[in-house]
């Protein structure tokens, strides 16, 4: 059971029973303003800048700034092949929450929540990814542990990039 999530039942429309799903959580503290960080991450071009280059993230369709209902089409290099995915932005609550859900891709289900909390020393950003690994032949190769390891590596890279941008004054 997911505890403490500010979710409405209708926001879980594309996910199966969440009690059966894997979950990854990453917490990051940054010495910047919540509005600046939130606005930075609303822009797919910025997400691409802070993503691990080994992922090969390329947006094929994305707005300059995401809003609820936006569809983002992109490619990534994952598990030895280029994967085409589509995510829908299902929630944007300024400046505290962005939610995206896979609508087309290899996973049975994928939901990524970005939570933002302002504090005296800056921002606490918590990312929560709730997913079900792929089925079929890919499911034999790509296990939950493989996905969790990849998420861990990706979030380490993203943290380094965000800290660099904050220290350079690009995110204030």
Q: Which two tokens stand for residue 131?
A: 């997913």
**What is the set of domains in the chain, with CATH numbers?**
21-167 (3.30.530.20)
pLDDT, tens digit, for every residue of 51-85? 999 999 999 999 999 999 999 999 999 877 899 99
What are the E-state strand segments in 63-119? 71-78, 81-93, 97-104, 109-119
CA quadruple 126, 132, 137, 142: dihedral positive or negative? positive
pLDDT, tens digit, for every residue of 88-141? 999 999 999 999 999 999 999 999 999 999 999 999 999 999 999 998 888 888
3-state secondary structure of 138: helix
| CA distances, 52 to each of 29, 68, 108, 154, 169 (Å) | 19, 25, 23, 6, 21
Model confidence pTM above 0.85: yes
Nearest by Cα to 5 from 68, 108, 91, 78:
91
Cα–Cα distance, 133 to 106 (Å, whole number): 8
């Amino acid at each position: 059971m997911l505890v403490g999530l500010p979710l409405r039942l209708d926001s879980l429309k594309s996910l199966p029973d969440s009690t059966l799903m894997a979950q990854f959580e990453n917490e990051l503290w940054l010495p910047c303003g919540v509005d600046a960080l939130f606005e930075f991450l609303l822009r797919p071009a910025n997400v691409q800048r802070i993503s691990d280059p080994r992922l090969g993230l390329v947006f094929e369709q994305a707005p300059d700034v995401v809003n609820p209902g936006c569809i983002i089409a992109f490619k990534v290099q994952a598990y030895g092949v280029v994967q085409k995915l589509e995510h829908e932005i299902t929630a944007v609550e300024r400046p505290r929450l962005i939610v995206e859900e896979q609508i087309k891709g290899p996973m049975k289900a994928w939901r990524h929540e970005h939570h933002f909390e302002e504090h005296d020393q800056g921002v606490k950003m918590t990312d929560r990814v709730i997913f079900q690994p792929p089925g079929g032949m890919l499911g034999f190769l790509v296990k939950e542990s493989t996905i969790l390891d990849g998420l861990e590596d990706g979030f380490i890279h993203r943290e380094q990039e965000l800290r660099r941008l904050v220290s350079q004054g690009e995110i204030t």
